[in-house]
């Protein structure tokens, strides 16, 4: 869970970036952000790694080159700040909504100054798994802020009733997915008890990277206070 001070830092970076890019109303498109930040974006296919060969000598993860780890992990996206022109690489096999999210996620990495040392080289701190997890949490929070215009979405959401038609209208206005829109609505709109579960249905095979069918359990602030005993661990038992 991010500290309040970290959230304020990220909110400030998001607000500054959107203001400088002249992005004040939805939709907040990642293509416009990339143009403003002069951040290149390329798509790669692990079955045809020719693109990645250009960067293998520049990228290290926990002391190992990308060439050594690419065979054992599946990268969804990667920010490369030290390749002449900064760029992000996105797995082209991802569904369109996930490509969009991955693009915002790595764009968020690029605007958070304290992330840059991690991607430019290994240190004792950046090799710590807990620190890596914290960086990803930062980027997820920043990605949501960039995608929904920071406080702009909250303003629009507060002007709606908490119902499916409202979510649908916001989804269309912001050109975002159901999951990202619902998640933002639960966390950044009305201060009433709301919760969102994102799960793999019983008729589909559970992904290998998912321990339980309940992948995410998102709660509003009011829900956390009034129903503190309801946790994701309980949902995993259902």
107 and 205 in a single domain? The answer is: no
52 and 132 in a single domain? The answer is: yes
Three-class secondary structure of residue 44 per DSSP? strand
184 and 199 in a single domain? The answer is: yes
Please, are residues 63 and 57 in contact by the beta-carbon 8 Å criterion?
no
Each residue's pLDDT tens digit, 104-150: 999 999 999 988 777 654 444 444 566 778 888 999 999 999 999 99
Please, are residues 69 and 100 in contact by the beta-carbon 8 Å criterion?
no
111 and 166 in a single domain? The answer is: no
69 and 5 in a single domain? The answer is: yes
Domain range for residue 190?
A: 152-237
Q: Single out the residue in 105, 121, 149 at which a domain terminates.
A: 149
Q: Single out the residue in 149, 182, 217 at which a domain terminates.
A: 149
Residue 68: pLDDT above 50? no
Q: Single out the residue in 106, 122, 149 at which a domain terminates.
A: 149
More confident residue, 204 or 16: 16
Alpha-carbon span 133 to 135, nearest angstrom: 5
Alpha-carbon span 216 to 42, nearest angstrom: 29
Given pLDDT bands bounded at 50, 70 and 90, which one contains residue 66?
low
Each residue's pLDDT tens digit, 165-181: 999 999 999 999 999 99
60 and 109 in a single domain? The answer is: yes
82 and 16 in a single domain? The answer is: yes
47 and 133 in a single domain? The answer is: yes
Domain count, the chain: 2
| pLDDT given for residue 127 in this prediction | 47
Highest mean pLDDT among 91-100, 106-115, 137-146, 227-236: 137-146
More confident residue, 13 or 211: 13
108 and 125 in a single domain? The answer is: yes
101 and 47 in a single domain? The answer is: yes
Pair type for strands 60-61 and 195-199: unpaired
**Residue 26: closest CA among 138, 160, 154, 139:** 154
106 and 174 in a single domain? The answer is: no
| pLDDT given for residue 209 in this prediction | 74
């Amino acid at each position: 869970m991010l500290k309040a001070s970290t959230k304020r830092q990220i909110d400030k970076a998001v607000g500054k970036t959107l203001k400088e890019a002249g992005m004040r109303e939805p939709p907040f498109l990642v293509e416009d952000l990339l143009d403003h930040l002069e951040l290149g974006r390329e798509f790669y296919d692990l079955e045809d790694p020719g693109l990645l060969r250009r960067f293998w000598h520049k990228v290290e993860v926990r002391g190992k080159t990308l060439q050594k780890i690419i065979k054992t992990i599946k990268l969804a996206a990667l920010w490369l700040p030290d390749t002449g022109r900064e760029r992000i690489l996105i797995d082209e096999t991802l569904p369109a909504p996930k490509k969009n999210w991955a693009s915002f996620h790595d764009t968020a990495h690029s605007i958070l100054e304290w992330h840059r040392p991690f991607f430019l080289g290994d240190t004792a701190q950046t090799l710590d798994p807990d620190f890596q997890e914290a960086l990803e949490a930062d980027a997820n929070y920043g990605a949501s802020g960039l995608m929904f215009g920071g406080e702009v979405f909250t303003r629009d959401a507060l002007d709606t009733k908490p119902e499916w038609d409202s979510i649908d209208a916001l989804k269309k206005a912001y050109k975002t997915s159901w999951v990202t829109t619902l998640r933002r609505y639960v966390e950044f709109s009305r201060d009433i008890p709301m919760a969102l579960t994102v799960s793999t249905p019983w008729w589909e095979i559970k992904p290998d990277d998912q321990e339980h069918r309940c992948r995410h359990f998102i709660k509003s602030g009011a829900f956390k206070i009034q129903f503190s005993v309801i946790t994701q661990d309980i949902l995993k038992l259902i």
